[in-house]
Amino acid sequence: MKPCLLIPIYNHGDTIAAVLESLAGFGVPCVVVDDGSDTPTRATIDTLPARFPWVSLERFPENRGRGAALRHGYAAAASRGFSHVVQVDADGQHCAADVPRLFAAACAQPDALVLGQPIFDGSAPRARRYGRELSRFWAGVETLSRAIGDPLCGFRGIPLEPVLRLLDRTPLGDRMEFDPELTVRWVWSGGTIVHVPTRVVYPRGGRSNFRMLDDNVRITAMHTRLVMGMLARLPRRVRRAR
């Protein structure tokens, strides 16, 4: 097992340095994927490899979306010889102290997808909690199981070889629908999921890249597509159960 960290970033120039400081003590390389950030954020990102020599930078010239940045980051990490990534958001929501726990879970089950299981405090907006409950419900319907604890949590451990094979077979969306669709299709492919409880905070004044209208439309379309896929797979499941 040869792990690294992966951070997609879009216009979080005010938090990325603090996130990297919190990860510096683990002695693990990190790939930062700049998803076409604005000029001030790009200037900040350009200073990171000098400040943090264990950081390497990938960049899109224009914004392509979270899913596109993650997919590119997986391929970039694999091309550097890494077997696993732990992906961390650039906005400071994820608990860096839990990174070793995700690495340990991946080491114990190298072929599993390791999902953070969020523990929210009072900073979590009610709308976000509701959205996660709704997404969890639909993931249960689509997989006919309780295999997925939180399909939206971006703090996760990725086994690169099987996930890249899955992405080669099945194109996924480029934006916020990427994370939940990957978890459902991972279960459909027979993959194992391991959950690691982790604290998630919403920093005061934090900036969200979630586009309320556009991303909700994309996520709704994604769940509709997955429900149809589940219905198409249902007869085979019934035959196997007999």
Pick the range with the lowest mean pLDDT from 2-11, 30-39, 216-225.
216-225
pLDDT for residue 106 is more than 70: yes
Pick the range with the lowest mean pLDDT from 35-44, 52-61, 75-84, 218-227.
218-227
pLDDT for residue 35 is more than 70: yes
Contact 198, 118 (CB under 8 A): yes
Please tell me the predicted confidence (pLDDT) of residue 205. 63
pLDDT for residue 12 is more than 80: yes
* pTM tops 0.85: yes
- CA distances to 2, 91, 116, 185 from 151, rounded to whole Å, are 25, 19, 9, 11
Please tell me the predicted confidence (pLDDT) of residue 83. 98
pLDDT for residue 234 is more than 70: yes
- Per CATH, the homologous superfamily of domain 3-241 is Spore Coat Polysaccharide Biosynthesis Protein SpsA; Chain A (3.90.550.10)
Domain ranges of the chain: 3-241
Cα–Cα distance between 67 and 178 in angstroms, integer? 5
Please tell me the predicted confidence (pLDDT) of residue 233. 85
pLDDT for residue 213 is more than 80: no
**Pick the residue with more confidence: 89 or 241?**
89
Helix (H) or strand (E) holding 181: helix 178-188
Please tell me the predicted confidence (pLDDT) of residue 215. 78
132-152 residue pLDDT tens: 889 999 999 999 999 999 999
Q: Which of 131, 142, 10, 139 is nearest to 67 (CA)?
A: 10
- CA distances to 123, 181, 182 from 167, rounded to whole Å, are 34, 11, 8
